[in-house]
Amino acid sequence: MVRKQIEARGIKSPRVLAAFRQVPRHLFVSEALRDQAYGDYPLPIGEQQTISQPFIVAEMTQALDLGEDDRVLEIGTGSGYQAAILAQIVFRVYTIERKHSLYLQTRNLFDKLHYHNIVMKYADGTKGWQDESPFDGIIVTAGAPQIPDVLIDQLGEGGRLVVPVGNQHTQELIKIFRDGQNIRQTNLGGCRFVKLVGKHGWKDA
């Protein structure tokens, strides 16, 4: 998977590639789907949520340009796979999940796999995690209608935010870099995610 689906498509960060080799992706999907765990496509995880395709996880992780002392916030824990990848690279991962069944399932998995540098919270992730801010990086694993200002405000100096922005049909992966009071924005290309639901995202149906 790493060589053919990730490295061959332009992911060059040694830390990101090493993390993908260390995390067993099949443990983050249901037993019924484990024979598909290493395919380059998303898979359902329940609650109308998905585990993202390996390449998009790698692309977003590389875009954060992380170091071993960094503190990262993830919005949308889901299966826990993205957080587990981040945990191989950074000092601490803070991750928020709004679906209670997924929160309980994934928290138990983190405990089982001894991911002691992942801190998990059951809450509306679109509000961020003010008490633990500022963060070196923030990653949003669901599509937002616009970039949530509250998340930009929780970035530290030199902080990076990666977030899919758009509607349910067309989304762009956006990277934000905070340089003092200046905000630089880069479009990383098209993508497709489930909707980011919450106060600063899409509203509940």
Nearest to 159, CA basis, from 169, 147, 151:
151
Whether omega before 134 lies within 30 degrees of 0, making that bond cis, reads: yes
CA–CA separation, 78 and 51 (whole Å): 7
Which of 13, 30, 52, 79 is an active site residue? Answer: 52
Report the length, in residues, of the chain.
Answer: 205
Q: Using an 8 Å Cβ cutoff, are 44 and 36 in contact? A: no
If residue 18 lies in a helix (H) or strand (E), which one and from where to where?
helix 14-22
101 is catalytic: no
| CB count in 10 Å sphere of residue 199 | 11
Residue 108, CB half-sphere, CA atoms under 13 Å: how many? 6
Q: What's phi and psi for 67, nearest 5 deg?
A: -120, 170
Q: Using an 8 Å Cβ cutoff, are 170 and 152 in contact? A: no
Structure tokens at 192: 């497709």
Looking at the annotation, which residues are catalytic? 52
